[in-house]
Amino acid sequence: MSKGLAILTSGGDAAGMNPAVKCCAEYAAQRGYTPYLIYDGLRGMVEDNIVLSSRDLLSGILHRGGTILRSSRCKRFFDFEYRKQAYENLQKRGINHLVVIGGDGSFRALNQFYHDFGVPFAGIPATIDNDIAGTDYCLGVDTALNVIRSSIDSIRDTASSFSRAFVIEVMGRHCGYLALSSALSSGAEICLVPEVPYNLDQIGARLKMEIDDGRRYVLAIVAEGTQMASYLTRWINDSIGMEARLTILGHVQRGGSPTVHDRVMAYKFSIAAIDALDAGLTDAIMVYRDGSYNHLPIHSVADAKYVLDPLLLRLAGPLGN
């Protein structure tokens, strides 16, 4: 029986995807699979943008950010006829295993594909939002945090030079992990995230006391899910009386060469994914919890809500009050 295995990246790009692609393809070949690469995510499956993996295609990608396989949004994949077309594209090459590197939306799509046509898949969590249930870590998070840290350090220089307040909006959708971690590691005075109630009156009273005591600038980290960045900037100007500026970091957070941590995590997740398929698992999502690598069935991930680390919330709690 043919042992074709195809790798795709889907959803938002994240540093660490390329090391994962490289390791999956190389380790799959060692385990007796014939590895293929699917370009353009789910759309590439439908449009038959599938090629046999080769040393040339994998060479020199380890240090690159984003994904060389590219990604896409594909509404057609939710139509059975297009999923059938994707299945036929796999069948003619003898591909009967899939590895998807992405987020929970991508995992759900492949799970539907598995139930339709019986093609087993393994999922590797990759999103800078770090919002996938069941795992403490997703590929791309460490690189994104380092990009944010570097940006905040630069902003602090000008904030202190002009005695200003800077509000810095970071990504994360509806998850405050990036904001909380960045606020703690940068020594910010304010942190607003969707998961924690905040009290601007208490924040204002605290900041006024600190300014009277000698504080000359303020850093505020705001998660995009709060939609509070612009309002908070105006509020600091009006209520605190300190000149404030807003910086929205945006998609710069997704880019950059993956850190050592993301490269190593990519390798460990990838080996676990191939081993899971080799063991006969059909819908396994790789996870990292409490220092250990494991896997969970898709329903345990897709049907659960990600919960922030309680200790992280406790440490950052005073920044919202």
Which of 40, 129, 142, 283 is catalytic? The answer is 129
Strand partners, 297: 284
The one-letter code for the residue type at 318 is P
- Cβ count within 10 A of residue 241: 11
Active site residue 56: no
Are 204 and 239 within 8 A, CB to CB?
yes
DSSP-derived 3-state class of residue 9: strand
DSSP-derived 3-state class of residue 130: coil
Cα gap 296→315, rounded to integer Å: 29
Strands (E), the chain: 4-9, 34-38, 50-52, 95-102, 121-125, 165-170, 190-192, 218-223, 244-248, 283-289, 292-297
> Residues with catalytic annotation?
129
